[in-house]
């Protein structure tokens, strides 16, 4: 199992998504599902980019810097 950090660009803005998954394909699917859960009207997803991938171990973390 891996921890994935993704960045989604949608018609509603940009979002950082962190998910645990067995594969990259699964991580992208989970990211889409989480975006859909956040809105009453589902935004158009323009792209989802994989930024980082780490094996899940105790103490693993991502630092997410706010972009201006």
As given in the structure block, the two tokens for residue 10 are 């949608």
Enclosing domain of residue 41:
2-55
pTM of the model: 0.84
Burial of residue 11 (CB within 10 Å: 0-12, 13-18, 19+) is: exposed
38, part of any domain: yes
26, part of any domain: yes
Residue-wise pLDDT for 5-31, tens only, equals 999 999 999 999 999 999 999 999 999
What domain count does the chain have?
Answer: 1
61, part of any domain: no
66, part of any domain: no
The pLDDT score that the predictor gives to residue 24 is 96
65, part of any domain: no
């Amino acid at each position: 199992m891996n921890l994935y950090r993704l960045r989604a660009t949608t018609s509603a803005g940009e979002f950082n998504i962190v998910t645990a998954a067995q594969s990259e394909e699964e991580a992208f699917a989970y990211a889409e599902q989480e975006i859909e859960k956040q809105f009453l009207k589902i935004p158009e997803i323009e792209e989802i980019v994989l930024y980082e991938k780490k094996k899940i171990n105790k103490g693993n973390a991502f630092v997410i810097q706010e972009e201006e």
